[in-house]
Structure 1
Amino acid sequence: NCPLPILRCKKGLSDMEASQVLKITATDPGSVKDFNAFCMQTGHELLQLEEENSAYIFYIRKRSN
């Protein structure tokens, strides 16, 4: 599994206000498990997961502080 999408997600969320939504695209099928675990561990909300042309698109809402 490539940690790069998770690292980009952490960086993106750190620059956002609470309740804003981040869109992340990944191509690794393992990213589905990784982002589910990331959201459970951090308290951010995985709003939606779409699969499009061998890519996975995640919409993650930043948790309230």
Structure 2
Amino acid sequence: MDTIEHHSFLDAVGLYCPEPVMLLHVEMRKIKADQILKVEATDPSTTRDIVKFCQFLGHELIQQKEEDEHYFYWIKKKKSELRYN
């Protein structure tokens, strides 16, 4: 699964809740719709928090995996919604 092409990478290794999700929110704002962000973390709570983040904000969690106590996520940013005032 490491072959999933991604446009940006967030290194959250060594960070603990709530930092990984806070940084994830910042990084998602930097990328364009339909681009993929890869996240690497060591906090086991990310297995819950990142899934909920994606569900709540509508981003697609393409893949997640655990390897040697490191957690990897590939997240596709949702398409922007048109807003009319």
> Taking structure 2 as the reference length, what is the TM-score of the superposition?
0.72
Tell me what 2:25 maps to.
10
User: Where do residues 18-37 of structure 1 align in structure 2 (5 Å cutoff)?
Assistant: 18-37=33-52
Higher Rg: 2
SS at match of 1:2: coil
Inter-partner Cα distance in structure 1 for 2:46 and 2:22 = 12
User: What is the CA distance between 1:7 and its match in structure 2?
Assistant: 1.1
Report the structure, 1 or 2, having the larger helix content. Answer: 1
Q: CA RMSD in A?
A: 1.0
SS at match of 1:37: helix
- 5+ long unaligned stretches in structure 2: 1-15, 81-85
Greater relative CO (CA pairs within 8 A, separation 6+): 1
Query: Of 51, 56, 61, which aligns to 2:66?
Result: 51
Q: Does 1:61 align with 2:85?
A: no
Aligned length: 65
- 5+ long unaligned stretches in structure 1: none
User: What is the CA distance between 1:44 and its match in structure 2?
Assistant: 0.4
SS at match of 1:32: helix
State the percentage of identical aligned residues: 37
Q: Structure 1 runs of 4+ off > 6 angstroms?
A: none
